[in-house]
Structures are given as structure tokens and as C-alpha cells.
Structure 1
């Protein structure tokens, strides 16, 4: 039997599924990707609306991600870099803090910002240095605690935790109590320190588009929903049955396989709202943080502070809401606009689009960086991919896709011996 004759199906054409297909192709196989929607990308998508690029949720690529460096062509993505800092809206003023060792323009604003104490700023420099020396393996093998207790143990003041760490990392972890594992905090913090936060010029969906265009021998079935999976059969929602030699599930598996029904993943949710404004209150490409206790807004960002492939001519503002406090629809939009006015001085904004994203990030307790190919094996011929195998990140999605494909290849090598 030739390599091309093996029927290898990948369920889900998100980042993890695309990487699995990439690895299988490199080893001479021709997989089939089955995707429920009309295009690849999973949670990594961009829409063009009213002449603006709207990502599905505020997402960034951390260029230091090892797996991203391995699989992506950064030059072709035309990455636009954020400045390594944040603009914090506090007491009617903007306070800019950042890493002056990486961008000298942030030195004076950071030194004189009314955010945290001098001791806090020295502790941040010390944390930067220590995490540069700490390997990723060491980070993920250390005992885990909550990010909040980790920062408290390091001696950071409640002020710097409330004004900077909580709004900044809540926007990444999508929970506002910093209950996420310290492993994830250290990993993300290290990645921020060793590279840039960036967006492709054409929006975040340029990442899965690039991975798609690199595939040459993969068949993709769009608008095809899978209802269940057994060892060698895929049952589609329309009743069609597909015979398969190997199956990689690159999406949540609990609703596809009988004995996983009680292992459903919990998810962090968020809302992202886009507005058009006449001007930018944050002039530089910095994330704006809102450290006000009962505010609904977590962070804001002007996408037009970076170069974009498409621009309708005014300014594009995204607002991330981690906890919508039960507000939906027009009530949520009105509250966000009221807070933009009151807290950020954004007096005029035209609503464009609201993305309610119930499954933004998998809510995982035991976080890992790596997984062995054999550990991705669920059944004799069924393998699991997706970031929910490791941790909620683009890097983890890539690693999990790679390892699931390598698991299939290990099985096939046994056949070919």
C-alpha cells in the first residue's frame, strides 16, 4: 500500500489541524481536512466590514513562540509590531509604561508614570531578567499556583497588580481574577520579553491562510459537520459515512466520541466590540488598559495605529470585555460607549460589529508545554490535537497538531516495518 493510499482524516481546519496536515504532507501523505465552516482558521479569523479588518476577538501573535517561528514565514505575513508597553487610563489621565530596555522611547513615561512604586518597577526589571534565564521546560515543570498569588509572593504591590497586571493579563487569559496558572503567566511574560506582539498587515487570519497555501496534497471539505467518530468511521451530520485508516481530531472531541461525553472542556468567553472613531486617544501602537474596578471594558486597541491592508480612512477601535456582567445586545454597546466616554475620553464612536465569543480559550487546570506523539493517541487509530491538549495559545495549537501527526506517523512506521 502506497503512502498516498492511506485515508487520513483531520477533523477541524483550525491552526492545529492545518499544522497536522503540513506534517503529514512533508512525510508523503495526502490527508483530508474536514471543516464545519466555509473557511480555515477556527478561532483565528478576520472579517472585512465597512472597509475595516475585524479579527474575531482581539488576538496577537507573539513572535517569540518557538512553534510559530518553525511553521510561519514572518516576512510574508508583513508583521506589524506593537510597542512593548501599555497605556493605562487612570484618574482621567493616560499613564504609559513599558520596557525601556527594548524601546528607549518608553523610558521617561515609565519612570514618571503614577503606576506602582519605584520598588514595583525594579521588580518588573528583575522579573524580566529572571524569566529570560529560565527555560520553557523549567517554567512548565515548576509547581503551579495562581498568577495572583505568584505576583503577591514576588512582593508586587496591590496597586501595580490592580493597575497593570490584572487588566493586561485578563485580556490574555480572559478571566479577571488572575486565577490562571503561574506557568502560563511565566511563559507568556517570557514570550513578550523575547519577541514582539504583532499582527499581520492583513489581520490575524493571514496566519491560517498562509498555512493553507503551503499545503499541496491535502483535500479540504468545507461546510461539512461531523456528528460522531468510531475507530475507522466518520459519521457526518448529513448521514454520510466515511471510512478512514487514521483520524486526527483537531477540535473539541467530547461531543464526537461516545465515552468522552463526560469530559467536556470548559471555556473562557469574551466579547469584542469594534467602533469607528475620528481620532485616536492613544497615538502609538499600545494596548489601552482600564483598571477601574466595576468597569465593563478590560482593554482597548486602535488597529489603525498599525499598518493594515484595508483601511476605510478613519480610526478602528476594538474593545475587549472579559466579563459582560450579564449585558447583551444594545445594552452592552451602550455601556461600552458610556465607559469609553467617561474613562478614556472617547466622546464619539460609531458602532461597527459585536463578536460574542463563548469559546475563546480552553479553561485548563493542568497546563503543559509539550506532549509526546504517543500521548495524543486516544484509540488505536484516533488521535487528539488542538490547544486544549496543552495550554490556550497559538503555540500550543501548533505543537499539538504536530505531535498528533507524528503519532499517526509512528503508527504507520510500525505498519511499514
Structure 2
């Protein structure tokens, strides 16, 4: 197919994961595509910055290798991934307790001794849950009865004590809500992905992921610093006042801009997360492990420079700690006090490096949660993003793929009708 005279076949507004995936699929389908990005780089919420010699992701993020869309689209070797320790270190009033995945090695079996973090009943329930979610076909999880995660865990035989000590602190950081009200379907799919994949970070920061996707597009397809003011009957009106024509427009922006460009678009509530970055003269924990807190003073914390040494200059440690909601005065001191307990060290010599707040970090996903929704919202107008699927890298990429399929199908039908 040839691009429309004076324009493109498709304009994709937004160069986050969903928009890039959509653009790549449309390009492979033979369509002429332009991606219009308002900021100075690709990635949307998944970007990395250099700050005083440190690599700072825009909010603490992890990368899961098991997502089907990830495995289909990305050459993982190019990302030079560095893994976290499988499992989690839980800070409790009794000290740190570890829960590891025993399938990753027999030496981790000792972490599952009854009476440490969990009793025999909870360990048995955890084994049943994990075996079912890891081994059963994904469609059986997707089509299962949907309820809150808390209700599903209770029905799965877990004690309230174990839920409060393990699941609630861990999943608060995954879903950015601390009441376990997220859809159980989403929980089971995420649990499955965690068991089947490896949690890790690219050597050059999480922003390497969207850059790798963008590298697969034709030269000149992505236009940075190109904000879109509104959609028109023929395409889009740019923030600079110019117009671009296209046979179809896909809105792949964040929720606020998507709602502004597509009035009447139904949007979920979004969760806000703030990440505090501290530097230290030495690492408080010589291991790339995720730490949670049973008192939920923070969502999670980790020594990023233990995961990827290049995140910090030589001789320095970089610690990332995330909390729900916005930053406010005095909160950094509260976080640092909790970290002193969690890491069992004096944090007096730690220096605040920077703070990153992501207002639209993740969509709320209460039950019943649709796992995919149509991209088509009107004639020649489409939308994609994690709010149209699930709040994850998989959801964003899958939503972009669905938008591309619907656009390509509609444009092919128009061509047939038009002769």
C-alpha cells in the first residue's frame, strides 16, 4: 500500500510501548506510518535519564522476560539484561525473611522451611497456586472467574497472616494499590509471568526497551518534539499549527492526553507512585534482591547498583525506594528511617539524589477486568495503551498489536470498497 498523497496511511500519536508496537506492525503490513511524539524521546513512562553520573529510570521498574509480546518483538540479548535474585526479601518485625522460587535451584529450598515466613498450610497452598498458574494453559487463567485478588487468595487456602506478611507487601508494589483489590485474573497472569520468566533490568536502563522497538522502524518514522493539539477530519492539527493528513489516526498517549484528544473516551483511574533515589558510599545489601516491608512504609526497595553496576559511578551505591502517591515534605526522612531498619544500617551518610513521581503509573484494574478491548473508537480513529488491556509491558504491547490489526483490516476493507 502507498501512503496517502500529502500525508500518511496512519499517524500514531505517542511513542510509548503501545504506539511503537502499533507502528511496527503497521509498517510490516506495508502501510506508511508516522509516529508523533510530544517529548524529546521515545518510551513514554518507560524512560531513563543520566543524572550526576547515575542512571535514573523514571520510576522504579523491572523487566519481565516471559511476556509473550516481549519474546516475540525484542532481541533480548541486545538489552544485556541483568537479573534480580529470584524471590523476595521481606522485612518483618522478626528481621529479614526470604521467600525464594525453589525451581531456580535446590539451594533455595531452605527458604521454604515451615515456620519461617509461612506455615505448612500456606506453603502447600503456595505450591498449588504456583503449579496451576505456571503449568496451566494461559486461556484457562484468562477465562477464569474474576474477583478481587484478596478474595482469590482466601479461596486458595492462604491464611490472613501469610497474605499480610507476603502477598500484600509484594503485590502493593506490583499493582500500586495496597488493598489487594486488583482483578484476580490479572493477578494470576502476573504470577504466571513471574514464575515463568526472569525479573531483570537492561544494562543501559529501562529506556533501552522502547529504544530497541523504535530502532525497528524505518528511518524518519518517529518525529520527536511534535505535540498534537487535536484530531481533525483529515488527520491531526499539530501544536505548531501545521496539519498532517492520514487515512487513520491511532492515539497512543498517556491517559490525560488520550482523553483530551478523544472526548468521551472511557478511562480508568490511574495509580501514582513516587520513587526516592539515594546514594551511599557502600552498598547496604550485597545482593540484587527486591526488599518489601510488612509494615508497608514503602512498596519496595533495592540496591540498583547491585542489579546493574553501571547504574552508579564506581565506588558508589544507588538505592531506589518506591511509595504510593505523591512526594510531600518530610516523606524522604520517613522513608530513610524505614530503610535504616530494612537494611539494618545507618543511613545518615546517604544522600538524596533525586525523586521521580509518575502520576499515571498504572491503571486501576478491579474486577471484572477486561484483558483486551477494541482499539476502534470512531471512523478512522483508534486508541491503544495499557488502559485498553492490562497495566503491564505485555498489556501495552498487546494493545498496540490489536490496534494495528484493526487499522490494517479497516484500511484494507476501505481499499476494496473504493476499488
TM score, norm. by length of structure 2: 0.92
How many residue pairs get aligned? The number is 407
In the alignment, is the contact (CA less than 8 A) between 1:273 and 1:353 conserved in 2?
yes
- Contact 1:249/1:385 (CA < 8 Å) preserved in 2? yes
How far apart are 1:115 and its partner, in Å? Answer: 1.0
Structure 1 position 342, deviation (Å): 3.3
User: Per-residue displacement from partner, 1:86-145 (whole Å, max 9, x unpaired)?
Assistant: 111112521111111223332213326621212211211111111123222222221211
Q: Indicate if the aligned counterparts of 1:115 and 1:159 stay in contact, CA closer than 8 A.
A: no
Distance 1:276 1:144 in 2: 42
Supply the distance in 1 between the matched residues of 2:263 and 2:361 (Cα, whole angstroms): 25
5 Å matches for 1:368-383? 368-371=370-373, 375-383=374-382
Residues in 2 aligned to 1:49 and 1:215: alpha-carbon distance in whole angstroms = 29
Shift of 1:265: 3.3
**Does the Cα contact within 8 Å between 2:4 and 2:247 map onto a contact in 1?**
no
Once the two structures are superposed, residues 252-298 of structure 1 have per-residue CA deviations (whole angstroms, 9 ceiling, x without a partner) of: 321112343xx343101111011112333333221001111xx5312
Describe the superposition over 1:47-71 as per-residue Cα deviations: whole angstroms up to 9, x where unpaired: 1112221111121111110000000
Structure-2 residue corresponding to 1:32 = 34
- What corresponds to 2:259 in structure 1? 254
Kept in 2: contact 1:296–1:323 (CA 8 A)? no
Aligned to 1:274: 277
1:120/1:160 contact within 8 Å kept:
yes
> Take 1:304 and 1:382, find their aligned partners in 2: how far apart are those partners?
44
Further displaced range: 30-39 or 274-283: 274-283
**TM-score of the two chains, using structure 1 as the length reference:** 0.92
1:123 corresponds in structure 2 to 125
- Tell me the SS of whatever aligns to 1:312: coil
Q: For the structure 1 residues 39 and 379, does the alpha-carbon distance in structure 2 shift closer, same or farther, using more than 3 Å as the test?
A: same
Structure 1 residues 175 and 197 mapped into 2: Cα distance closer, same or farther (>3 Å)?
Answer: same
Contact 1:30 1:218 in 2 (8 A): no
- 1:317 maps onto 2:319 in alignment: yes
Range that drifts further, 35-44 or 251-260: 251-260
Distance 1:351 1:103 in 2: 37
Contact 1:84 1:196 in 2 (8 A): yes
Contact 1:22 1:215 in 2 (8 A): yes
> After the TM superposition, which parts of structure 1 deviate over 6 Å for at least 4 consecutive aligned residues?
none
- The answer to whether the 8 Å contact 1:83/1:103 transfers is no
Please state how far the C-alpha of 1:368 moved relative to its aligned partner. 3.3
2:247 corresponds to: 245
Task: Indicate how the Cα distance of structure 1 residues 258 and 299 shifts in structure 2: closer, same or farther if over 3 A, else same.
Answer: closer
More displaced, 303-312 or 20-29?
Answer: 303-312
C-alpha spacing 1:264/1:128, structure 2 compared with 1 (3 Å): closer
Alignment match, 1:152: 154
In 2, the alpha carbon distance for the partners of 1:301 and 1:115 equals: 20
Q: Against the structure 1 CA distance between its residues 140 and 22, is the aligned structure 2 distance closer, same or farther, given a 3 Å change threshold?
A: same
Deviation at 1:310, TM superposition (A): 4.5
Query: Hey, what does 2:386 align to over in structure 1?
Result: 387
Please tell me whether the aligned partners of residues 234 and 243 of structure 1 are also in contact (alpha carbons under 8 angstroms): yes
| Deviates further, 380-389 or 96-105 | 96-105
Task: Point out where structure 2 has 5 or more consecutive residues left out of the alignment.
Answer: none
Would you say 1:200 and 2:202 are equivalent positions? yes
1:79 and 1:208 mapped to 2: Cα distance?
14
2:89 is aligned with 1:87: yes
- Any idea what SS the aligned residue of 1:203 has? coil
